[in-house]
Amino acid sequence: MAAGTVDRADDPSGEPLADPARRARLQALLLAWYHRTARDLPWRGDADPWAVLVSEAMLQQTQVARVVPIFASFMARWPTAPALAAAPAGEVVAAWQGLGYNRRALRLHRAATVITSEHGGTVPEDLGVLQRLPGVGAYTARAVAAFAHGLAVAPVDTNVARVLARLHGRALSRAAAQERADALVPDRDPGAWGQALMELGARVCTARTPRCDECPVAPMCAWRGQGPDPAASSAHRSRPQARFEGSDRQVRGRLVQALRERPVPGPELSAAAGEPDAERVRRLADALVAEGMAEWDADALRLPR
């Protein structure tokens, strides 16, 4: 094949990466690029399953740059699941400041409690057991299994699903994306492979402005920027978030932020939340209590002890 030519030969099965030789070439190209250019992130290369679980919990819907400093301080404070389980839930929520989506802090604390009480303080290896931990879904379970335990499984997030749809040149359902991801996992170093796919989607094969000219696996891509983007109609595609300004999520966030500083008496809740509708604020405060995110102490709302 001439230099610069895109290798798009059709496979009789209709799967452009079904041929073992083509898969091996894809794996070699992507892994070489990853080992040469990967970002130096504190949770990469760490085989500690607890550290991987914490990082994945923090990275859900949160930019890497915001996670890095908080991850370091969080792990220094609670280096093991039993250490976190022994801490008051309110302290964990307080330490989550800057990451958003505060429910994740509570779920991670609950997961640590289950890991401590049911698994001897060790993050389990089995996918099914991992997925039964609070706040751990299919993606996070596979990430821990691959990155920490070295199992040949493929975590599929939005970035990975986008890369897969473009490589295959077709829109993919969630099940189809997972099936194709699993088929591509190499026998050696599945953790690095999973990280490489994520890195490619985050830095090169991006949603809005893919840099196909810089892509290390462009010769293997069935799309390569030509025609309709197959990722645009795939199940894992990113969707615009609902308006944040003035939303219940914004008011809840303000309440939690106020509680990080001190307990807030009931009459001061509206001011703390920046919301004049006292009935709305009380409803949201009660919802935080029902979720275990806060508790009433006499007539003051506080983080849980």
Catalytic residues: 56
Distance CA 110, CA 97 (A): 18
CB 174 within 8 A of CB 186: no
Distance CA 101, CA 66 (A): 13
Report residue 47 as tokens: 């085989």
CB 106 within 8 A of CB 291: yes
Report residue 124 as tokens: 């389990």
Report residue 259 as tokens: 């509680």
Distance CA 251, CA 271 (A): 11
Residue 268 DSSP SS3: helix
Element (H, E) at 10: none
CB 167 within 8 A of CB 222: yes
Distance CA 192, CA 194 (A): 5
| Spatial CB neighbours of 188, under 8 Å, sequence gap ≥ 6 | none
Q: Which residue is associated with the tokens 């949160």?
A: 62
Distance CA 45, CA 289 (A): 38
Residue 235 phi, psi dihedral angles, 5° rounding: -65, -30
